[in-house]
Structure 1
Amino acid sequence: MIRYSFIGTCLIAFSLLTFWLRTLPIPRIVSDDWVNLLGNDPWYSLRQIEQMALDFPAYSWFDPMTHFPMGEAIYWGPLFRLLAVVLVILTGASTRPEIMYVASFLPPLMAVAMVPVMYGLGAKLVDWKTGLVSAGFIAIVSGQYAYRSLFGFVDHHIGETLFSTLFCLCFIVALMKMKESGVRLSDLSSLKNPVLIYPALAGIAFLLGFYTMTTMVIFGVIVVIYTIIQVLLDQFRKEASDYLILTNVVTFLVVILGIIPFGLNQTGFGVGVYGPGNIVVYGLLIIGSLILYGISRYLSDRPWYFYPISLVGLTIVSLIVGLLALPNLTRGYIGQFTAVFGMQAVVLTVQEAMPWQFANAVSVFNWGWILVAGGVVYLLYRIWKQNDAPALFTLIWFALIFVATTRQVRFEYYLAANIALMAAICVGAVMQIGGRDLLRLAGIERLLKLKEEEVPPEAPDDVPEDTGKKGRKQKVVQKAPAEPSGKPLRSGLLVVTVIIALLFAWSSASANIMMGSNVGGGINSDWTAALVWLGENTSDPGLDYYEIYDSPKVRDTFEYPTEAYGVLSWWDYGHWITFVSKRIPHANPFQRGATTSAHFFMETDVNAATGMLEELGIRYVITDIEMATGKFWAMATWHDPVNATDPFQKPMLYQESATTGSYSTIQLYRESYYQTMIQRLHAFDGSATPAGEILVVESAPASALGLGTSPYPVITNVQQAGTVEDALRYIEEFTRAAPANHSAEILSPEMFTPSTDLDALQRFRLVYESPTNVLSSGGDIRYVKIFEFVSGAVLEGEGTIEVPVETNTGRTFTYRQESRDGIFVLPYPTEAGPDDVVVATGTYRIVETGQEVSVSYRAVMEGLRI
């Protein structure tokens, strides 16, 4: 009773610690207006929670409020959102701020639920003390797991971790119970054993994860790999594998039965959607398990190596048959599996899909890695000595998730459970090895015993009597055997392990406190202001924001109303546009529309860019300083994965000091960089801009100057030219006389000063800009800008026309445009429209003639001739 009270007290304490750590962001992100949710995806998750709260428990499998003009088929499950809505209903939340606030508690609560699950894993694999250590570690482990379970990160990642870990616990328990029960496939009567309830529970746990996200298929793969290896070991040791095969059959039969009523919303045989492909995959898992069992029984009297050879042959034959009979299906499954481990250029622009850097791995789990290594050694020992099935499953679970994490950092939130468990196993194992020795050395072992062994006051009848000096009979007292003294080596190992565990706990808890106390919301004030303005001052797209589309098949027949339009920005900002503005983005953080968005912003041909917007039905374009600077490389990579930023930017080496001979890297900008749509819009407001300082940079390969094998050329000389034509003539002369691999090119170190003349964008007018000027001196560029794509008023004329413009922030600039084929297309009305906050403060004036022209709002919007 004392032990259970102690365990319960510890679990409550760990749960409270978890909840406290996860709710630290509340003061920083909660306001009267809303909760400034973390990241990008949680904003879309809240959009779905709002929908479900109004029509509970309906779930929309298609959403036309994103990825205009196609809409978005939803490929994740409803369970996380459903649980959030239950919280909302139970608390009576009804307004948007209330719903956001209540739903934000679901991730911390799921993190709390991880505490008893991790206790169960540690206790089943080693003992109750290991369970407590495991529960304690999961409470403080840091990294992606901690971030994605914070208050405000309202997305299903923590749900994936919780339910997948719960499945592993149930599967391990099922393996233990099935092996103990002695059930046999050959004995039908044994199949009536109620122990089959344990794999059935594992199947239910798997379904909870499946209805959160289809990535539960990874744990199906873990079961497959484990099954093959475990059956091989059982065959080698001449042990029956009935317990394992029956566990697989019952578990995944329950999974299939659970998929049929609710998981067939989409067509196709992919495992990344809720369609029949999942039934096929888990059905094949059952069939494969039975085939493995049949082969093992058939080869039971043969040498052990017959079995692995037969499995290799069967795998090759199955793959060949699959590629010949069902090539698309087989290649599709292989492609979906390898995609997890792929590293395509465009994938690497997504932060959570980047490979796990060694430095990050060390900083996140630090001292825990030492304990993890000890846990691996202990499990290997158990597998070798005892053919321990749960130990093997745990090791394979850890290994596969670890490999997945090295390829894509997003899996780190899965790996956290493995780290906490493996570290706890190490601590628990060392406690078993050296715990009693340490107590003996400290002389307190007897104090901790529940009951002391005492010698009875009277010896039993068979104890011989001894005769004293005077012939008296005396009873001989039997002495208890002396307890062995503690072994210093084992005790020392335990002390060192405990110290490392404390360092791991301290560093992880400190990281959690720092992150929770300093994390900020996903949307900064400039974006918030811009999106609020967009939602309040632009026309309604004609859709019911809260309407439920209960089938993804709606996408095939759905038609947008005639007044609908799209908003184009980089994909990072798509969910913000949907949730805050209730407008329809083209690109979103599911990377839908990322390619076309990148093509537009990287386009240097204005006609091609405007043609894209017309085809997509885009009315507004939103830019920010990040797109023009830090996110530029990501857009360039999506635009051209092979060349990426090379057509626009050129890193080079320059000599910092002639005396020391030290070189540094500098980023220079090609002419095409300034001609991209993102630079023309955000840096130059779409206005014609003359070239600034024109520099011709001469360079030579690093190897030619004895600087090793650096891929960057070295700047050897810089010449200033008066005009672009002068620069081109100089480059031509230099090229004729220069040695091989030496080059000269027009380049500029200035990001916002073009090295070439830029013509105007005729059909883009600035309609809003955010308050913050990102330039500390020497200019004025605002953080976020919104442009409207208009028809433009048509005016015949020659030369250059200009109009003074004042923005909503009070910034003034002059919009200039040169005529093309005797035509001006004018984007700014001189008579402001009803919602205009960026206005022309005068009339248009043709510079060469002085002619002044007024332009109506209607002419700009409808493309009228004036």
Structure 2
Amino acid sequence: MTSGDELIKREWLSPQFVSGILLAVFFGVALFFRIAIPYDQVFRGDTIKFTTADAYHYMRLVDSLAHNFPSIIPFDPYLSYPQVFDLGSQNLFVFLLSGIAWLIGLGSPTQHTVDIIGAYFPAIMGALTVFPVFFIGKALFNRWAGVIAAGLIAVYPGEFMGRTALGFADRDGLQVLFTALTMLFLILAIKSARQRQLSFSHLRNRDWAVITGPLAYSLLAGIFLGLYLLTWTGAFLFLIVIFVYFIIQYIVSHLRQENNDYLGFTGTIIFLIALVMFLPASRNELFLGPLLVALLIPPVLSGISRMMVKKRMKPAYYLLVLVGFGIAGLIIFQVVNPSLLKSILGYLVRNFVQPAQELTTAENAPILFPFGEFSLELIWLQFTTSVFLSLISLGVLTYLTIKKREAEKTLLLVWSLILLVFTLAMRRFAVFLAVNVALLTGYLSWLALRYAIPKQKAVAPSNAEKKMKGKRVKSSSVQKTGASAGKKLVRPGLALAVIFFVVFFPNIGYAINDAGQAYFASSDAWGESLSWLRDNSPEPFGNPDFYYEYYKMPFEYPRTAYAVLSWWDYGYEIIRTGHRLPNTNPGGGARGEAGRFFTSQDETFAGEIADLLNSRYVIVDDKMVTGMFHAMATYAGSSYAEFFDYYYVRQNNAVVRVVAYYPEYYRSLAVRLYAFDGARVVPKSTFVISYRHETFQDGSRYKVIENTESFSSYEDAAAYIQRQPSGNYRIVGNDPFISPVPLEALEDYRLIYSAKSDPFQSEAGTIPRVKIFEYAK
């Protein structure tokens, strides 16, 4: 009986009953956070608004599959204009949503049905993760560690909460659920096989009493791994976790001269099942290669181990032999298929070393360096106090695992450390790390509870107690017993209170905020504008129902096809809501060309890009000239510092950072379109700043504004700078929507629509949040 169980002794209040009630409560809490809190952000009258750009891509595929079920389009002509690309085969997420919609809609689901299912699905997946987390904690530690971990995963803020909330119709919630289930059954398979001392002799003798449990768990682990591989191309990074674990555990078992046959049994079954499931869906060597290598590892390592034992070779040589086999394998791989090896290694590198352009996307940034500088703020916002508690737990668990030699706990260590590395390299992996942090924190919390709850010693009844058996006990004795029981509950009660306020409470406020904000949802103005564009612009394929058709190869775009040019964040929404062809999208496209177009200082140069891309319409919004502008500059091959920069100025006895906008910013096509509608601009005044360079303690330099001069015309300001002896003078603006420089009218762009809903408020006045221009040279 565990320490937690000692508090619960009555049959009607058994540990199983209490933990079941708590799990149901945590599941309900998880649903409440993910559905009730963000409900008004997603359901806006008759409209259902998705809260991430990628959701519009998946829902577009769901639209198509729901109308052509069970045939999914092999390519999407809306996605990659003017080229055609294979969509790939890992679309289990799309099949699940479409299949549910198809069944509920009796083979003909409405758009509203499809949208509702897409909105609720991620929230349900996120809430369901409570259950495998509990059972993992129970299998590794005990029931109460699992209960605490389940409660934590229900309320963790950050990536996990945001990516499993209502309206976030992306694969993340399903992926976390599949990985948790895979690891649950892998842990159970390893644990049961190790405890039963499963060996190959049991297989030869068909000893089903020993084989059945590990076999069932291994099959289930393989099934969920296969489902995960069919959900996401990046799922092969998760193979690294299992792959590395088996190698480490083989080495540990061989050095300790322990039986490792159970590793070969479980590993082979898991990878074989996953391969069998994945093979019909894809013949892509980039993904099949690692899966085949993973399948070979367990039998090869088992064979090497058995051979060395048979020849009585020193166990220490095992590691050297494995290194030799690994090097030989890489050499053979390089000789047989060098291009495949290069592709696999490149795929791994791309997921850890991001180019400058990709780092402009928040989810791709290192979690400790979100803006290029070290900060604990972002990782704190993911897990709050669990950041530190899980690291302590990791140290404790490492020590105890080495001491007790439990293979399933080694799996948790390897799993946690690799995901920690992934998350340090790229913030988006925090959604997976949440499971590990919850388990580690739950384990440490249970250790604290165990030490807080006094252990009851079994004492033989005295003669007097035996005589009292069956007789009425005096009320004073009952009172003493009650008082004693009350005292025994004080320490556990205090421990539970401390755990709640230290472990749970810090997460709740952040979780409510993250669930209710819908940070990545586009404004209502975008939906309004794209609906207008769909109804008031020519059909690029001549038929509005073409959006729902099943497309076949070979395919050629008709002469009527044209593109819509905006920044890539809005590409998927342009497809799904506007039924139009964007030049770029979150998955790729002409990002560099779009960046050069919107930051262009010359209308002629911008027109050449628009002609090259066959862009007929241009859409701009407030974010493109504020928060997204640095990304456009980066993709254009320049830097934000060419358009604006950060300065420090003394205000009210304090030094604050301000943004100074350069003439190049106002001359960019994006600003000329959005802020000034492409019209001629004559500034009322122009500012000139003088500044000096200073140095921070870390050696980095910064600029401090010494003085600001105001001039009635741009020409007077430019003449003033020419007369200065030093070069530390610049013409700047302090408002992104009030130009300090004259601008000529644009000739080839005509404003045809301005969004009416949700206008943008600036010091220059109220500005429509989204504007559509027709490009007609």
TM-score range normalised by the length of the shorter chain: 0.7 to 0.9
- The match for 1:375 among 385, 393, 396 is 393
8 Å contact from structure 2 (residues 675, 737) kept in 1: yes
8 Å contact from structure 1 (residues 37, 43) kept in 2: yes
- Alignment correspondent of 2:728: 743
Distance 2:439 2:291 in 1: 27
**Which amino acid in structure 1 is aligned with residue 531 of structure 2?**
V
8 Å contact from structure 1 (residues 526, 784) kept in 2: yes
Distance 1:708 1:409 in 2: 25
Matched, 1:712 2:702: yes
Which secondary structure state, in structure 2, belongs to the residue aligned with residue 713 of structure 1?
Answer: strand
- Alignment correspondent of 1:340: 351
- The match for 1:350 among 361, 386, 391 is 361
- State the Cα distance separating 1:728 from its structure 2 match: 5.2
Which secondary structure state, in structure 1, belongs to the residue aligned with residue 601 of structure 2?
Answer: coil
Distance 1:655 1:181 in 2: 72
**Which amino acid in structure 2 is aligned with residue 74 of structure 1?**
L
- Alignment correspondent of 2:549: 547
8 Å contact from structure 1 (residues 183, 191) kept in 2: no
**Which amino acid in structure 2 is aligned with residue 305 of structure 1?**
A
- Alignment correspondent of 1:52: 65
Distance 2:42 2:562 in 1: 32
Q: Assess, with a 3 A threshold, how the Cα gap between structure 1 residues 453 and 190 changes in structure 2: closer, same or farther.
A: farther
Distance 1:317 1:7 in 2: 51
* The structure with more helix, counted as a fraction of residues: 2
Which secondary structure state, in structure 2, belongs to the residue aligned with residue 622 of structure 1?
Answer: strand
Which secondary structure state, in structure 1, belongs to the residue aligned with residue 752 of structure 2?
Answer: strand
- The match for 1:30 among 40, 43, 46 is 43
Aligned residues: 728
Distance 2:580 2:741 in 1: 36
- Alignment correspondent of 2:470: none
Flag structure 1 segments of 5+ consecutive residues without an equivalent: 265-274, 447-451, 460-484, 792-866
Over alpha carbons, which structure has the higher Rg?
A: 1
Distance 1:334 1:680 in 2: 44
8 Å contact from structure 1 (residues 375, 422) kept in 2: yes
- State the Cα distance separating 1:8 from its structure 2 match: 3.4
How do 1:151-166 and structure 2 match up within 5 A?
A: 151-166=166-181
How do 1:283-682 and structure 2 match up within 5 A?
A: 283-300=292-309, 301-323=312-334, 326-357=337-368, 358-432=376-450, 435-437=453-455, 496=495, 499-517=498-516, 519=518, 522-542=521-541, 544-549=546-551, 554=553, 557-640=554-637, 643-656=638-651, 663-682=655-674
Distance 1:356 1:169 in 2: 27
Q: What's the TM-score, normalizing by structure 2?
A: 0.85
- The match for 1:764 among 730, 737, 749 is 749
Distance 1:147 1:454 in 2: 60
Q: 1:673-704 CA distances to partner (integer Å, 9 max, x unpaired)? A: 2221101211222223345534444433326x
**Which amino acid in structure 2 is aligned with residue 43 of structure 1?**
Y
Flag structure 2 segments of 5+ consecutive residues without an equivalent: 1-10, 369-375, 468-483
- The match for 1:110 among 118, 125, 128 is 125
Matched, 1:88 2:101: yes
Q: Assess, with a 3 A threshold, how the Cα gap between structure 1 residues 233 and 614 changes in structure 2: closer, same or farther.
A: same
Which secondary structure state, in structure 2, belongs to the residue aligned with residue 383 of structure 1?
Answer: helix
8 Å contact from structure 2 (residues 30, 127) kept in 1: yes
Task: Tell me whether 219-228 or 9-18 shows the greater mean CA deviation.
Answer: 9-18
Q: Assess, with a 3 A threshold, how the Cα gap between structure 1 residues 197 and 456 changes in structure 2: closer, same or farther.
A: farther
Distance 2:344 2:588 in 1: 21
Q: Assess, with a 3 A threshold, how the Cα gap between structure 1 residues 593 and 5 changes in structure 2: closer, same or farther.
A: same
8 Å contact from structure 2 (residues 53, 520) kept in 1: no
- State the Cα distance separating 1:788 from its structure 2 match: 0.4
Task: Tell me whether 310-319 or 133-142 shows the greater mean CA deviation.
Answer: 310-319
Distance 1:126 1:750 in 2: 58
**Which amino acid in structure 2 is aligned with residue 628 of structure 1?**
V
Distance 1:789 1:727 in 2: 34
- State the Cα distance separating 1:375 from its structure 2 match: 3.3
- State the Cα distance separating 1:666 from its structure 2 match: 3.0
**Which amino acid in structure 2 is aligned with residue 359 of structure 1?**
E
Distance 1:133 1:779 in 2: 51
- Alignment correspondent of 2:257: 238
Q: Percent identity?
A: 26
8 Å contact from structure 1 (residues 43, 579) kept in 2: yes
8 Å contact from structure 1 (residues 78, 211) kept in 2: yes
8 Å contact from structure 1 (residues 79, 208) kept in 2: yes
Distance 1:227 1:490 in 2: 44
Distance 1:323 1:415 in 2: 34
Q: Assess, with a 3 A threshold, how the Cα gap between structure 1 residues 454 and 622 changes in structure 2: closer, same or farther.
A: farther
Q: What's the TM-score, normalizing by structure 1?
A: 0.77
Distance 1:652 1:153 in 2: 37
Q: Assess, with a 3 A threshold, how the Cα gap between structure 1 residues 683 and 100 changes in structure 2: closer, same or farther.
A: same
Matched, 1:259 2:251: no
Task: Tell me whether 519-528 or 127-136 shows the greater mean CA deviation.
Answer: 519-528
Q: Assess, with a 3 A threshold, how the Cα gap between structure 1 residues 70 and 432 changes in structure 2: closer, same or farther.
A: same
Q: 1:796-855 CA distances to partner (integer Å, 9 max, x unpaired)? A: xxxxxxxxxxxxxxxxxxxxxxxxxxxxxxxxxxxxxxxxxxxxxxxxxxxxxxxxxxxx
8 Å contact from structure 1 (residues 248, 289) kept in 2: yes
- The match for 1:143 among 158, 171, 177 is 158
Distance 2:697 2:647 in 1: 13
8 Å contact from structure 1 (residues 355, 406) kept in 2: yes
- State the Cα distance separating 1:20 from its structure 2 match: 2.4
- The match for 2:286 among 277, 290, 294 is 277
- Alignment correspondent of 1:861: none
Q: 1:503-544 CA distances to partner (integer Å, 9 max, x unpaired)? A: 422333444344445548823232222112111111111161
8 Å contact from structure 2 (residues 683, 741) kept in 1: yes
**Which amino acid in structure 2 is aligned with residue 87 of structure 1?**
I
- State the Cα distance separating 1:432 from its structure 2 match: 4.8
Distance 2:355 2:269 in 1: 38
Distance 1:419 1:707 in 2: 35
Task: Tell me whether 146-155 or 745-754 shows the greater mean CA deviation.
Answer: 745-754
Which secondary structure state, in structure 2, belongs to the residue aligned with residue 219 of structure 1?
Answer: helix
**Which amino acid in structure 2 is aligned with residue 199 of structure 1?**
S
Which secondary structure state, in structure 2, belongs to the residue aligned with residue 581 of structure 1?
Answer: coil
Which secondary structure state, in structure 1, belongs to the residue aligned with residue 257 of structure 2?
Answer: coil
Distance 1:342 1:14 in 2: 37
Task: Tell me whether 494-503 or 131-140 shows the greater mean CA deviation.
Answer: 494-503
- The match for 2:144 among 119, 124, 129 is 129
Distance 1:240 1:408 in 2: 38
Distance 1:146 1:636 in 2: 31
Higher RCO, Cα 8 Å, sep 6+:
2
Please provide the CA RMSD for this pair: 3.3
- State the Cα distance separating 1:104 from its structure 2 match: 2.0
- Alignment correspondent of 2:767: 781
Which secondary structure state, in structure 2, belongs to the residue aligned with residue 227 of structure 1?
Answer: helix
8 Å contact from structure 2 (residues 598, 632) kept in 1: yes
Distance 1:311 1:58 in 2: 45
Which secondary structure state, in structure 2, belongs to the residue aligned with residue 621 of structure 1?
Answer: strand
Task: Tell me whether 580-589 or 155-164 shows the greater mean CA deviation.
Answer: 580-589
- Alignment correspondent of 2:25: 13
8 Å contact from structure 2 (residues 564, 615) kept in 1: yes
- Alignment correspondent of 1:43: 56
**Which amino acid in structure 2 is aligned with residue 254 of structure 1?**
I
- State the Cα distance separating 1:716 from its structure 2 match: 4.2
8 Å contact from structure 2 (residues 42, 166) kept in 1: no
Distance 2:698 2:290 in 1: 53
